């Protein structure tokens, strides 16, 4: 792929938020109704819709979707489904023991069909304590994946006396916990985030209508393109809200340091160029899905980037730290660990000249590196991986002035 020249401009269409969509689908199912508008067309969301619509399936395949696997583990448990829940080989390497242990404490019978602590899972029954008068209390580590916590939060109202989740250790991706809380409240449950604990009351959900916001994670790739585009470039992204529940809205502040200014419009944002900083320090604990995009932009611009809060990146679709190290090296950049969980991106003589990007079955690797085509020709292996979260990504790039292929 390559850039055909001139300034970047116009309007790019974003997918709806996958994170909001998948939570809303679970809550809609638990509430027994409600109209959801602007659902994501990402494969993860369409997969969630299909699986929720198949109540008699004996085998449920979550494919490579971590959110689907984790949310359905909890949902299928409390709806007393007897199924085998499985996924791709990579999905079977992503741990789920923390969630299974918690569900067992709540009354679930779950067995591992292969390796302890990992899918596939055999869900074999649900027997909560119907005599409970106090919320069931769980201690859950917060430093692995907030999706475990969100999965438990959403099923909490189905327990006879509710649920109290005590969070131990460093809690990553807290904005996603707040997103879950806000959507639960929209569907009628007064869940309370007390910082070190989350209290979920045994209030039944009620059907509610909701319109999904556009995806800030997807917007991050357009921020990267504006940062690397010729002077005078800008882009408009509709459907984004200034008051957003999505943690990846953090891209606004991060990219302000890397050369992109954000103007909020009535319906969306306009991105324009601004001066960038020679060095940036960023904690990605609350926005790990932005790490690849920001690392690539910093490397391309010669900005020294200090990165912390990357703990969860090793258990994503691939080991994203290793993948970044491999691919950045092809351009003359490095990602090095200097101290415990403290990483630095540095580059010298950064060049884009026909390199091939390996994507490691990871949609975000493809989209994080694609903006480098503004600086020279490159190839992206297995470009179809973007279907996981942004199926129209390549078509939108063609509209913007890239030659794909």
Phi, psi of 375 (to 5 degrees): -105, -10
Q: Is 242 annotated as a binding residue?
A: no
β-pair type (279-283, 333-337): unpaired
Q: Is 61 annotated as a binding residue?
A: no
Q: Is 289 annotated as a binding residue?
A: yes
Other beta carbons within 10 Å of 79: 16
Mark whether 37 is an active-site residue: no
Q: Is 23 annotated as a binding residue?
A: yes
Q: Is 301 annotated as a binding residue?
A: no
One of 64, 215, 248, 289 is an active-site residue; which one? 289
Q: Is 347 annotated as a binding residue?
A: no
Q: Is 388 annotated as a binding residue?
A: yes
Structure tokens at 17: 């938020």
Q: Is 312 annotated as a binding residue?
A: no
Other beta carbons within 10 Å of 93: 14
Q: Is 244 annotated as a binding residue?
A: no
Q: Is 94 annotated as a binding residue?
A: yes
Burial class (CB in 10 A: 0-12, 13-18, 19+), 176: buried
Question: Is the Cβ–Cβ distance between 110 and 122 less than 8 Å?
Answer: yes
**Residues making up the binding site for 3-phosphoshikimate:** 18-19, 23, 145-147, 173, 289, 316
Which residues participate in catalysis according to the annotation? 289
**Residues making up the binding site:** 18-19, 23, 66, 94, 145-147, 173, 289, 316, 320, 364, 388
**Residues making up the binding site for phosphoenolpyruvate:** 18, 66, 94, 147, 320, 364, 388
């Amino acid at each position: 792929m390559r850039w055909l020249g001139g300034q970047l401009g116009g309007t790019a269409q974003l997918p709806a938020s996958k994170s909001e969509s998948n939570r809303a689908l679970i809550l809609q199912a638990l509430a027994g109704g409600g109209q959801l508008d602007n659902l994501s067309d990402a494969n993860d969301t369409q997969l969630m819709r299909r699986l929720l619509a198949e109540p008699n399936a004996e085998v449920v395949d979550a494919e490579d979707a971590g959110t689907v696997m984790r949310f359905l583990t909890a949902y299928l448990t409390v709806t007393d489904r007897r199924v085998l829940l499985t996924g791709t080989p990579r999905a079977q390497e992503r741990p789920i023991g923390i969630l299974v242990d918690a569900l067992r404490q709540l009354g679930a019978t779950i067995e591992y069909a292969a390796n302890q602590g990992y899918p596939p899972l055999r869900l074999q029954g649900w027997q909560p304590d119907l005599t409970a008068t106090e919320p069931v209390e769980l201690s859950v580590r917060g430093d692995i994946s907030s999706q475990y916590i969100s999965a438990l939060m959403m099923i909490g109202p189905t327990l006879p006396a509710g649920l109290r989740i005590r969070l131990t250790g460093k809690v990553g991706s807290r904005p996603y916990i707040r997103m879950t809380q806000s959507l639960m409240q929209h569907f009628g449950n007064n869940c309370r985030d007390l910082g070190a604990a989350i209290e979920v009351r045994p209030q039944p959900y009620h059907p509610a209508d909701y319109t999904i916001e556009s995806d800030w994670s997807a917007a991050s790739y357009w921020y990267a393109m504006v940062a690397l585009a010729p002077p005078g470039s800008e882009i408009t992204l509709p459907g984004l809200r200034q008051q957003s529940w999505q943690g990846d809205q953090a891209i606004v502040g991060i990219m302000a340091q890397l050369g992109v200014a954000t103007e909020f419009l009535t319906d969306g944002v306009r991105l324009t160029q601004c001066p960038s900083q020679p060095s940036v320090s960023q904690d990605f604990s609350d926005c790990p899905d932005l790490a690849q995009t920001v690392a690539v932009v910093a490397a391309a611009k010669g900005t020294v980037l200090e990165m912390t809060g990357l703990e969860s990146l090793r258990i994503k679709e691939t080991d994203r730290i290793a993948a970044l190290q491999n691919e950045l090296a092809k351009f003359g950049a490095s990602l090095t660990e200097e101290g415990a969980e403290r990483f630095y991106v540095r580059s010298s003589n950064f060049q884009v000249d026909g390199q091939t990007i390996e994507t490691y079955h990871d949609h975000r690797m493809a989209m994080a590196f694609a903006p480098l085509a503004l600086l020279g020709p490159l190839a992206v292996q297995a470009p179809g991986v973007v279907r996981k979260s942004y199926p129209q990504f390549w078509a939108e790039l063609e509209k913007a002035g890239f030659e794909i292929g």
